[in-house]
């Protein structure tokens, strides 16, 4: 019998080391600059990724503009991206080097002791909420250092995608089918997934129900698209910017209304247009304006209408209405990331897009190349013509 060869000594995988790369660093209010940053290797339960595509979202602008009182500076913003795993920390099993992922600002720990992950009713996993809100990784430290003076830079929403490389918690990484175009996949990291989920998960709109959508940005248009897909009718779109009406009608709006064309409160106008004369089965706020939220609630159907808040209101804002609205059966709910459990749902949405069941390309109205063009993408987002601006790195 042949003698067994002695087994070779185990080969250590190359130890991940610091990466120096370009990032857009927000140093303070509206002070965004391209800088060289050092991205430390991922620690236990973390993943370092190379960002390949980044779509801009209003929260980034809001935070950069200083309107978020909890916004920390200096920070690397951005939370809607496609990325490739570069290295993984100890104990990481769900993704490996080379995988394509979408970062999620709502994590999914999937632990049996997480009552939120175990509940089918919510996606609000609180596992890393405390540290994420403080701009650090779950162990309380940052992976970002400014190359020039070695000062520390904060993370943002657990994502920080305005950088060529970033570090994420493993529980924030949704591994997806790599055959979807990168620029399409990133849209599922925030706005589009949120609009679809608000209809399918949160409100659970039924066929033939009547729908009114306030705000026809990317989120509101995703609501329209999802409502149409489920067979809702009619679908009314409301926006102060009439430039949005053409695409809204293509995606499924049966009518569009501009509040500026009416002296009466929007809810009165809308109730008058509704099929029963008593309001809409489902209404959505995708503006973040608290006066609009009131209109959306009051335009909901007497007896059963449900209003879903998607828009994120400015800090300190409150909503008001008469209790009569609830006593007469109108209801109100809200959604974070469309109720999707990030790691289960994003891969599924990507598969459905690959099958042609969900179309997303119409959301990309602007394209840019390189980290530095993030500034141009921000300008585009301000313009009013933009649904999503995607920056390819
Ligand atoms: P957007 O700015 O592209 O769209 C908002 C639209 O609302 C615009 O077309 C604007 O013209 C319209 N609008 C503004 N004021 C209005 C008014 N008074 N009446 C009617 N229309 C009005 O933004 P977006 O990317 O589509 O996001 C929409 C909202 O959803 C934002 O508040 C954003 O922060 C929020 N959001 C929430 C979640 C979540 O998980 N809950 C996720 C993503 C985005
Ligand atoms: C994303 N958003 C708006 C535009 N793009 C957005 C902002 C906030 C939330 C969701 C989407 C949100 C809803 C509820 C929460 N957040 C609280 C979640 C919790 O308490 O567990 C939220 C999230 C992250 C952060 C702040 C607020 C953060 O990381 N700083 C999900
Ligand atoms: Zn967003």
- 125 carries an active-site annotation: yes
Q: Which residues line ligand 2 (CB under 6 A)?
A: 57-59, 105-106, 124, 126, 129, 132-133, 157-158, 190, 312, 336-337
Instruction: List, chain by chain if needed, residues with CB within 6 Å of any ligand 1 atom.
Output: 57-59, 190-191, 194, 214-220, 238-241, 244, 259, 286-289, 292, 310-312, 335-337
- Mean pLDDT value of segment 365-379: 95
Tokens of 98: 């080379």
- Centre of ligand 3 to C-alpha 193, Å, is 10
Strand ranges (E), 79-217 = 81-88, 100-103, 144-146, 152-153, 165-169, 173-175, 211-214
pLDDT band at 137 (very low <50, low <70, confident <90, very high): very high
Nearest-atom number in ligand 2 for the CA of 59 is 4
Reference 128, options 157, 153, 87; nearest CA is: 157
Q: What kind and span of H or E run contains 26?
A: strand 19-28
Q: Residue 16: what pLDDT?
A: 82
Q: Is the pLDDT of residue 298 over 90?
A: yes
pLDDT at 1: 54
Identify whether 58 is a catalytic site residue: yes
SS3 285: strand
Say yes or no to pLDDT of 315 above 60: yes
Collapsed DSSP state (helix, strand, coil) of residue 389: strand
Question: Residues 11-68: pLDDT tens digits?
Answer: 766 678 999 999 999 999 999 999 999 999 999 999 999 999 999 998 888 899 988 8
Residue to probe by mutation, ligand 1, list 58, 199, 337, most atoms within 8 Å of CB: 58
Ligand 2: atom nearest CA of 132 is: 29
From atom 4 of ligand 1, which residue's Cα is the shortest distance away? 217
* Res. 9: pLDDT tops 60: yes
Residue 10 has pLDDT above 90, yes or no: no
Q: Are 45 and 93 in contact (CB under 8 A)?
A: no
Give, for 113, the enclosing helix (H) or strand (E). none
Residues 6+ apart with CB under 8 A from 108: 117, 123, 125, 171, 341, 342, 343, 344
Q: What is the pTM of this model?
A: 0.96
pLDDT score at 6: 73
Q: Residue 154 has what DSSP assignment?
A: B
Question: What is the pLDDT, as a whole number, of residue 247?
Answer: 97
pLDDT more than 70, % of the chain: 98
pLDDT in tens, 228-262: 999 999 999 999 999 999 999 999 999 999 999 99
Pair 330, 298: CB distance under 8 Å: yes
Q: Tell me, yes or no, if 332 is annotated catalytic.
A: no
Q: What are the structure tokens assigned to 234, written together?
A: 């009619």
186 in active site: no
Percent of the chain with pLDDT over 90: 92
Beta pairing class for 388-392 and 364-369: parallel
**Mean of the per-residue pLDDT values for the chain?**
96
Q: Tell me if residue 243 falls in helix, strand or coil.
A: helix
Q: Give the residue, by CA position, lying nearest to ligand 1 atom 28.
A: 286
Looking at residue 12, its pLDDT comes to: 65
Sign of CA dihedral 316, 321, 327, 332: negative
pLDDT > 80? residue 212: yes
Quote the ligand 3 centre to 28 CA distance (angstroms): 20
Q: Which of 46, 80, 86, 164 is catalytic?
A: 80
Alpha helices in the chain (DSSP H): 58-64, 115-118, 129-133, 182-185, 191-197, 218-230, 245-251, 266-273, 290-298, 324-327, 342-354, 374-382
Q: What is the DSSP string of 341-361?
A: -HHHHHHHHHHHHHTTSS--G
For ligand 2, atom 3, name the residue with the nearest CA.
59
> Given a cut of 60, is residue 2 above it in pLDDT?
no
pLDDT at 61: 87
Say how many Å lie between the CA of residue 351 and the centre of ligand 1: 27
201 Cα–ligand 2 center, Å? 17
Residue 99 has pLDDT above 80, yes or no: yes
C-alpha separations of 300 from 26, 254, 281, 284 in Å:
40, 17, 6, 9
> Which atom of ligand 2 sits closest to the CA of residue 133?
30
Q: Is the pLDDT of residue 296 over 80?
A: yes
**What integer pLDDT is reported at residue 14 of this predicted model?**
65
Q: HSE (CB half, 13 Å, CA atoms) of 392?
A: 10
Binned at pLDDT 50, 70 and 90, residue 136 comes out as: very high
Are 131 and 77 contacting, i.e. CB atoms less than 8 angstroms apart? no
């Amino acid at each position: 019998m042949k003698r067994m060869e002695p087994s070779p000594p185990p080969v250590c995988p190359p130890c991940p080391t610091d990466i120096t790369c370009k990032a857009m660093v927000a140093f303070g209010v509206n002070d965004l600059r391209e800088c060289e940053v050092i991205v430390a290797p991922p620690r236990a339960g973390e993943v370092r990724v190379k960002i390949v595509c980044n779509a801009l979202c209003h929260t980034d602008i809001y935070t950069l503009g200083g309107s978020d009182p909890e916004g920390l500076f200096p920070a690397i913003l951005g939370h809607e991206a496609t990325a490739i795993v570069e290295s993984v920390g100890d104990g990481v099993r769900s993704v490996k080097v080379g995988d394509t992922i979408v970062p999620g600002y709502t994590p999914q720990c999937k632990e049996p002791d997480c009552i939120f992950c175990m509940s089918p009713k919510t996606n609000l996993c609180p596992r890393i909420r405390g540290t994420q809100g403080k701009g650090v990784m779950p162990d309380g430290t940052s992976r970002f250092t400014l190359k020039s003076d070695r000062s520390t830079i904060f993370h943002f929403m657990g994502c920080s995608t305005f950088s060529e490389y970033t570090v994420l918690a493993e529980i924030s990484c949704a591994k997806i089918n790599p055959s979807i175009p990168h620029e399409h996949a990133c849209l599922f990291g925030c706005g589009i997934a949120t609009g679809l989920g608000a209809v399918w998960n949160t409100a659970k709109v039924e066929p033939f129900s009547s729908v009114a959508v306030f705000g026809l940005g990317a989120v509101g248009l995703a609501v329209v698209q999802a409502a149409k897909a489920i067979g809702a009718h009619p679908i009314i779109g409301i926006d102060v910017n009439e430039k949005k009406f053409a695409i809204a009608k293509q995606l499924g709006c049966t009518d569009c209304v501009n509040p500026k064309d009416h002296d009466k409160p929007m809810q009165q106008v809308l109730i008058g247009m509704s099929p029963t004369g008593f309001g809409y089965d489902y209404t959505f706020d995708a503006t973040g304006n608290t006066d609009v939220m009131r209109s959306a609630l009051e335009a909901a159907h007497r007896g059963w209408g449900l209003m879903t808040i998607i828009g994120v209101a400015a800090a300190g804002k409150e909503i008001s209405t008469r209790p009569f609205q609830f006593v007469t059966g109108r209801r109100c709910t809200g959604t974070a990331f469309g109720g999707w459990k990030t790691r289960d749902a994003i891969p599924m949405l990507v598969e459905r897009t690959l099958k042609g069941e969900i179309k997303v390309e119409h959301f990309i109205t602007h394209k840019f190349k390189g980290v530095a063009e993030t500034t141009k993408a921000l300008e585009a987002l301000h313009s009013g013509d933009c649904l999503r601006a995607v920056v390819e790195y």
